[in-house]
Structure 1
Amino acid sequence: MSTKPKVGFVGVGYMGHGMAKNILQGGYDLMIKGNRNRVPVESLTAMGAHEAGSLAEMAAGCDIVFLCLSNSPQVEAVIRGEGGLLANGKPGLIVVDTTTANPVSTMALAAELEAAGMHMVDAPLGRTPKEAEAGTLDAMVGAAPEVFERVKPVIDCWAGSVTHLGPVGSGHKMKLVMNFLGTGYAALYAEAFTMGAKVGLAPQLVRQVIGGSRMGCGFFETYTQWVCDRDPDAHLFTLDNAAKDIGYVCLMAQAAGMANPMSAAVRNAFASAVAQGKEADYMPMLADHIASLNGLDLGEEVEKGRG
């Protein structure tokens, strides 16, 4: 009989599918709970996963449950809901939240689970769905040491790099610091390309000079695959999700009692795009929004630069 824990997984979308697949391939008995999209659910059940009829069934039958959802309200509903994990889990259940979430919410949920004899781990992700499928994501983990040791073998199935940062909440805090930098770069790049075009520098020239300098980086490379090459799949992360993340950054800063002029400005850049119906656009497309505010079509500026 296997001594491995029984694992549940809620949210088998872009990132979750690959993570769940790699847990299965690690030899774990896996129960999944999907959403309206049946494609990833059917893919995983064909590989041997069991589909839970309810969260209550998963909570009662699993030792560790992973969450990979869109935001903190969804996480709160899965944990606190009438048919959720808190009401139906057995003592010792570990809930691992890989969502990019609000640490204030995470800490509150952790306290409620602890009071019921359960445990919370936050393990937000770095990298993309490509690395999720390959099992090479980055995991930033907040957990008590003994709980971390119990979940690490399962996280190792889908992560190439696992960093235990400290107690519960540490992972989500670090993820928000990281996403502040990412959204900040996106907003800076958007304005820089518009500024260049306004003064007669084609986007390709900006890419050539900046990309080859000390200010170039991997994020700049993927960003310019959209701006200069018009590759819509360069960075598949929506402006709506980015706006959510930078909003959480500002809430974290507010809770810490700090002045945050830069993150507030970045939040406004993304909020402006979302307010004008661009929420389904991807991160580098913020550059087109900023260009439009300044009376430019960035695609046309790219074409001019080819002439």
Structure 2
Amino acid sequence: MTDISQKTWKYLHGPDDVTHLSFKTGGVPRSFTAIQYTATERDEIDLQDDGIAIIDNDQMSVVLDGQLKGDPEAQASFMSDLRKMSWADFSAMALKHPRYRGSQDDFHRDQPNKGVLVNQIQRGVMHAPSDEADLRSPSMVSAHASSECPYSFPRTTRSEILQGLLSHSCLQGEDGRWRLSWALPDRSEHPYFKPSENDLDDPWLKHCEAHPELFDLAAQSILEPYFSGGVTTWPETDDGRYSFCSGGASNPDVICLEAIDGAEIDFASRGEFGALLDALPDTALRDIWKLQQVTDHNLAPEVVQNRITAELKPFRIEVITPQDPDLMVQADL
């Protein structure tokens, strides 16, 4: 029986049906992974779709697939041949392939570009150095230990920051560019908008049904600083450094990081994002991580829920009947 216990993107294969290809560059080697897959899976498994796929680990993209479809013996032989190819042979083979997707421009040159270490680590073909230093500033170390600071800045290394940012939520804007993103929790998750069997006649719930804009106004109040340049990290002395944009008409409760100190932080693909981050000096990378830690906290569901409760409480008290002791208790929520 064919082993399809492993999945790399849409490609199903066995654990040993993978070959790592590396080409010297004078720096970080150029890295690819060849997969002899037996099936693919999108919405369902397709056992008729087999072949060899080559993945660009530096760009985190597919170079080609469908090589030698339907011929497992030829596929196995080709996997062995790949290990012996020079860069000239490998790039020429890819460029001639009918399912070549396009990759970096180095496929058209005699020498490969330098690899992107952070993307190779993310793909699992390289490991982060075990002796990396703590990337935090002294003030971040002090803030993490202080009971006065609501944010967490645990010991972290450059590799850990890179992996965390690469796995963070992102949203593609109308311009086609991707950006780090944060979403407010859905209004249905807030207790003010969750009727129970005992309070279906609660005048507040009826008021909310008639005025759905109440939640939107509270959400806008929370998000306003992100659009006005009023966002800070810790100790709240860096306002004006960070630019955010909206998730657009289809994502009104989503914000996206646009720039820090005027330097845009957007990308066309995960591979490009990794390359962008990998090129940043430690201080710039640390700034993004610090902002991420603070924004993750400030827009966490429980924090937002408390903020919305505070925003809506005055409206709730006005709507409920103050003479009813039970409703008076609800007003104190």
Answer whether TM exceeds 0.5 for this pair: no
**Largest Rg, 1 or 2:** 2
Which TM-score band (shorter chain)? under 0.3
| TM-score normalised by the chain length of structure 1 | 0.28
Looking at secondary structure, tell me which structure has more helix per residue: 1
Looking at secondary structure, tell me which structure has more strand per residue: 2
